[in-house]
Amino acid sequence: MVLLEKISLKEVSNILNRKFIGADNHVISGLNEIHNVGKGDLIYVDHPKYYKSALNSLADTIIIDKEVEVPVGKALIISDNPFEDYNKLAKLLFPESQPTETQKSSKIDPTAVIYPNVYIGENVTIGAHTTIYSGVCIMDHVGIGEHVKIGPNSVIGHSAFYYKQTKEKHIQMHSIGNVKINSFVEIGALCTIDKGVSASTVIGHGTKIDNQVHVGHDTVIGKNCIIASGAGISGCVTIEDEVKIWGQVGCASNVKIGKNAIVLGQSGVTKNIEGNKTYFGTPCKESFQKLKELAALQKLPEIIKNI
- What are the residue numbers of the active site? 217
Taking residue 64's Cβ as centre, other Cβ atoms within 10 Å add up to 23
d(C-alpha 287, C-alpha 92), whole Å: 49
CA-to-CA dists, residue 243 to 2, 143, 217, angstroms = 31, 23, 19
CA nearest to 194, candidates 203, 186, 184: 203
d(C-alpha 279, C-alpha 262), whole Å: 6
8 Å CB contact between 262 and 279: yes
8 Å CB contact between 43 and 37: yes
CA nearest to 137, candidates 196, 191, 213, 199: 191
CA-to-CA dists, residue 109 to 114, 125, 149, angstroms = 10, 8, 14
